[in-house]
Structure 1
Amino acid sequence: MSEAAARPATPSEGRPDRPELLLSLEPLLREWLPRQRWFAGKGRPISELTLDAVTELRPRSSLLHLLIRAHQPPADEGPGDCYQLLIGVSDALAPHLAPAAIGHITRGPLAGRTAYEALLDPRQTAVLLERLRTPGTLGALRFQLAPSASVPGGLTPRPLAAEQSNSSVVYGDSLIVKVFRRVLPGTNPDLELPLALAREGCDRVPAPVAWYETADGETTLGLLQPYLAGAADGWDLALDHLTKQQEFADEARELGRATAEVHTALARALPTVTHTRAQTEQLAATMTRRLETTAQQVPALLPYVPALRTAFEALADLATEGSTWQAQRIHGDLHLGQCLRDPSGFWRLIDFEGEPSRPLAERRMPHPPHRDIAGMLRSFDYAARTHRPWNPAWSEACRAAYCVGYAEVSGRDPRTDPVLLRAYETNKAIYEALYEARHRPDWLPVPLAALARLAAA
């Protein structure tokens, strides 16, 4: 690493002129941003792009880190959504980087060069790893190492091809960096919770090795963690069992145990609260509003609204009668795809970011563990529905085994709170219906089938 990378930067170092740079990149980014999987404002035109920060990670602006804000109607008067970009700039783009191209720059200080997605270029992602190896500040960025951690150099980078709400790069077979795309002020729970679990000695979650943030420390931008080489994704593993007509109940039971271990450790590491009557009634009201709002956007949901509303009314009724529940920090978006089984058969949980579309403050709020449990129960149903013919018995066996495994560690079977569990499962299926309607219409029948079942209950 160069001396400049290892020491704090001077005020002008690492910071190209914002207006001139925006002049070069804005026309290209207006077209490119809406096509990205992680862009949150799909279907609305970009009225303006503004730069919050720019840092030069390599000389001659050949690697730029941008925090760029997209302003879109109808809320143009608001701050807009802030996105993190790593942009490579080249005189001539190599043929293997053609899929990464953003466009040819025709104006401003970078005119005549080509901009491209740097996270698809191993040379550029190697620079990011070098920055993470040494703590310090460069321009608008600050890089940090976990206590007693070290990052080896010279690891070969490769981007993960799977589309997701963030971008990840694997280094060798030992480390993986996640670059958060839509960024919000505050500590991202995907950093906060694994750090807390590491302090508790919980080995169900890979401990952070390094991370980077804005120079003021207010916004988490990226996270470096161990890469679990050879681990099987829980979703793929479940589908493989279905294809082979094999039961998955034993794995589901172990997943329940893993989930309970993580919940127990989080309850030790971070404050817990008791949901009072007012809080539970507010939760039920929020769920009801989500139902009614989603039904307006997903008309296929409308016939089920009256029956589904009773799930939330029953929860409010219990609160009125004096029922309370313990709330704590949880995963926030738990499903089979967030679970990895290593070659020894040990399950780990990953991706503690929560639902990326929700405000960060909401994702950091404590909830009853039933919210995570409901997410996993929905995931078993999703897996079963992808198989033809549909095998409801497979899903029910997994759901029951998962709850049994959870009870073996926590001492409490989540099914002993049927009203709370039904409310959370209904709320999750409503969220799924909106997501599928927007992004994967062919999948919409999966949550609709679950909502029909929950309505009948």
Structure 2
Amino acid sequence: MTRLEELLATWIPMQRWFAGKGVPVDAVRIESEHVLVPGAPGLRMLVVAVGQRSRTDRYQVLLGLRTPDAIGDELAHAVIGLCAPPPDLGGRAPVVAYDAAHDASMTTHLLERIAEDADGGPVRFRRTSGSTVRTGLRSLVLTGEQSNTTLVYGEEYVLKTFRRLWPGRNPDLELTSALAAAESDYIARPYGWIETDLVDPDTGAAVPTTLAMLQKYLRSATDGWVLAATSVRDLYASPGVPPGDAGGDFAGEAERLGAATAAVHRDLSRALPTDVLGPRSQARMAGGMVARLHAAVAEVPALAPHADALYSAFEALGEVDTDLPVQRVHGDYHLGQVVRTDTGWVLLDFEGEPAVSVRERQRLSSPLRDVAGMLRSFDYAARYQLIGHPENDALAESARAWAQRNRDAFCEGYAFGGGVDPEKHQVVLRAFEYDKAVYEVMYEARHRPGWIGIPLDSIMALTR
């Protein structure tokens, strides 16, 4: 009879949230298994270690178990496979293992336990102090999520379950909680979280680790990327019309988003530690950018003609002789991480880059790193619709004009909102933006070769 580990070894690499695509899986081991709902139907939380070459990553699997006759059509797409029953179930009849994130009858228990603030056992359910959580709501999995799995409960809450696990408190929970305590108007209120202990391989200590976080569901929210793309589409439908005169001009929203970003940065600097980087530390940071550039040029020769201009920008950062203030920042900031509600912009997903450890993501950085990330996002929003477009060349100038108009508006809003004035810190901002563009070239070359022209064209325009 098939063992569960064998099924997971086939199933996990096929999931959208699996980070090791393209690399053979050497071993799969269930590191820990916690029974949340006993029996069949039942619910378990698994921490699964996946070995690939010289590294091992951990993933969270919400595992459902049912008898074969209890799997209906609504769960057929979530089936992992038929396996031997766990020892605690008794009996010899095989059971069906499936992804229980898609089973509303099981995920209702997660909401109930957060509401109860259930603190016993190896999996702990926490409710945010002073909050009340409504139960009895059915969940639905949001589609399109890349690195995590998000459940929507009615029109009240979203529960983001973190698939790839790193020991420690997830920065999304940490920063959102700090901003909620600061009474920020620009976040979705947190209501609770789920955690367990994972052993930190570097220290050998068991560390409380975030498995999921519960937040307010923003009913009227529209994704920032969608709004920007609509504006660009309106512009392309009016050839020759300046961006400010076309329907759906986005500049006003970009300016308000800049102000909201500055307010969040200001609240983070008040709620959490800050520091400064001296010239020597900035030179080391610039050295890291140069190293990434050399690796990118070796992998993507098309970047080579622009290498000297990029290198000069990084060298200029290394020669700055004034201190650079650093603090906690978003860390992976772009138009897909913000939503527009009836009352204004809201920032989401403070998780940072899921591919690096929690410890790395907690490092202080300049808020200009977030500014640079959003500026790159404006360039992407302006250019991606031109891929394969029959009038690509004719519309390229309109794309550049749209991106520049919204970049300027965002920076003006950021400075007006109390952030450091990007215009007065061009050396630092330029280095962060070029470093991000180099990363984009590498990403596109590996994952979306048809899109590589976006960062390459941007670099060419930026380094003129």
Q: Tell me the equivalent position of 2:223.
A: 233
- Cα distance, 1:310–1:195 mapped onto 2, change above 3 Å: same
Q: Which residue of 269, 276, 279 corresponds with 2:278?
A: 276
Give the distance between the partners of 1:314 and 1:111, measured in 2 at CA: 68
Distance in 1, matches of 2:97 and 2:300, equals 38
Aligned partners of 2:27 and 2:93: how far apart in 1? 21
Unaligned runs of 5+ in 2: 198-205, 236-247, 387-394
SS at match of 1:387: helix
Letter in 2 for 1:30: A
Q: Partners in 2 of 1:175 and 1:156 — Cα distance?
A: 10
Distance 1:374 1:210 in 2: 31
Partner of 1:119: 101
Residue 351 of structure 1, CA deviation: 0.3
The aligned counterpart of 1:407 is 415
Structure 1 residue matching 2:366: 3-state secondary structure = coil
Task: Report the CA distance between 1:284 and its aligned residue.
Answer: 0.6
The answer as to 2:266 corresponding to 1:290 is no
Question: 1:168 is matched with which residue?
Answer: 150
d(CA) in 1 for partners of 2:132, 2:362: 28
- The AA in structure 2 aligned to 1:428 is K
Length-normalised TM-score, structure 2: 0.88
Secondary structure of the residue aligned to 1:417 is helix
Partner of 1:432: 440
Cα distance in 1, alignment partners of residues 121 and 25 from structure 2:
27
CA distance in 2 between partners of 1:233 and 1:323 (Å): 38
**8 Å CA contact retained: 1:24, 1:108:** no
**Matched position secondary structure for 2:125:** strand
C-alpha change, 1:442 and 1:121, in structure 2 (3 Å) is farther
Who is 1:83 aligned against? 59
Say which is worse superposed, 188-197 or 283-292, in terms of deviation: 283-292
Task: Report the equivalent of 1:97.
Answer: 75
Residue 3 of structure 1 corresponds to none
What does residue range 329-348 of structure 1 map to in structure 2 within 5 Å? 329-344=328-343, 346-348=344-346
Stretch of structure 1 that moved more, 133-142 or 362-371: 133-142
Q: Deviations over 1:393-429 (max 9, x none)?
A: 1110000000110111116421211111111001111
Q: How many pairs does the alignment contain?
A: 427
SS at match of 2:319: helix
Q: Give the equivalent residue in structure 2 for 1:386.
A: 384
Residue 439 (structure 1) shift: 2.8
Letter aligned with residue 418 of structure 2: S
Deviations 1:211-246 (A, max 9, x none): 011156521111000010111110001111222223
CA distance in 2, matches of 1:340, 1:261: 16
Q: Which runs of structure 2 are paired with 1:209-248 in the superposition (5 Å)?
A: 209-215=191-197, 218-245=208-235, 246-248=248-250
Cα distance in 2, alignment partners of residues 305 and 265 from structure 1:
37
Q: What's the CA shift for 1:37? A: 1.6
Q: For residue 21 of structure 2, what is the aligned residue in structure 1?
A: 42
Report if the CA contact (8 A) 1:429-1:447 is conserved: yes
Residue identity matched to 1:396:
Q
Is 2:3 the counterpart of 1:24? yes
Query: Distance between the aligned counterparts of 2:297 and 2:95, measured in 1?
Result: 48
CA distance, structure 1, for counterparts of residue 311 and residue 16 of structure 2: 32
Inter-CA distance 290–360: structure 2 relative to 1 (3 Å threshold) = farther
Q: Where do 1:164-203 residues align within 5 Å?
A: 164-203=146-185
Q: Residue 63 of structure 1 aligns with which residue? A: 43
**Aligned CA distance change for structure 1 residues 262 and 247 (closer, same or farther; 3 Å):** same
Q: Partners in 1 of 2:101 and 2:419 — Cα distance?
A: 45
Letter in 2 for 1:229: R
- Following superposition, the deviation at residue 279 of structure 1 comes to 1.2
Q: Which moved more, 1:176-185 or 1:292-301?
A: 292-301
The answer to whether the 8 Å contact 2:229/2:381 transfers is yes
The aligned residue for residue 244 of structure 2 is none
SS in 1 for 2:13: helix
Q: Say which is worse superposed, 202-211 or 136-145, in terms of deviation.
A: 136-145
1:26-70 C-alpha deviation (Å, 9 max, x unpaired) = 111111111112211112222112222111111126211101111
Look up the match of 1:7. none
Aligned to 2:452: 444
Aligned to 1:145: 127
Taking the TM superposition and a 5 Å limit, the aligned residue runs for 1:351-370 are 351-370=349-368
- Measure, in 2, the Cα distance between the counterparts of 1:95 and 1:383: 39
Q: Which residue of structure 1 lines up, in the alignment, with residue 241 of structure 2?
A: none
Separation (CA, whole Å) in 2 of partners of 1:411 and 1:356:
26
> Equivalent residue of 1:353, what SS?
coil
| Contact 1:55–1:138, Cα closer than 8 Å, also in 2 | no
Residues 336, 111 of structure 1: CA spacing in aligned structure 2 closer, same or farther, 3 A cutoff? farther
Letter in 2 for 1:49: V
2:461: which partner in 1?
453
2:405 equivalent in structure 1: 397
Q: Deviations over 1:306-333 (max 9, x none)?
A: 3322221111012xxx222111111111
Moved more, 144-153 or 425-434: 425-434
Aligned to 1:10: none
Q: Is the 8 Å Cα contact of residues 105 and 111 (structure 1) preserved in structure 2?
A: no
Does the Cα contact within 8 Å between 2:12 and 2:18 map onto a contact in 1? yes
| Structure 1 contact 159–169 (Cα < 8 Å) conserved | yes
CA distance in 2, matches of 1:107, 1:433: 47
Q: Is the Cα contact below 8 Å between 2:266 and 2:419 reproduced in 1?
A: no
Structure 2 contact 251–405 (Cα < 8 Å) conserved: yes
Aligned-pair CA distance for 1:108: 6.8
Change (3 A) 1:411 1:130: closer
Question: Cα–Cα, structure 1 residues 98 and 302, in superposed 2: closer, same or farther, change >3 Å?
Answer: farther
- The amino acid that maps onto 2:5 is E
Deviation at 1:440, TM superposition (A): 2.6
Give % identity. 44
Contact 2:337 2:347 in 1 (8 A): yes
Partner of 2:240: none
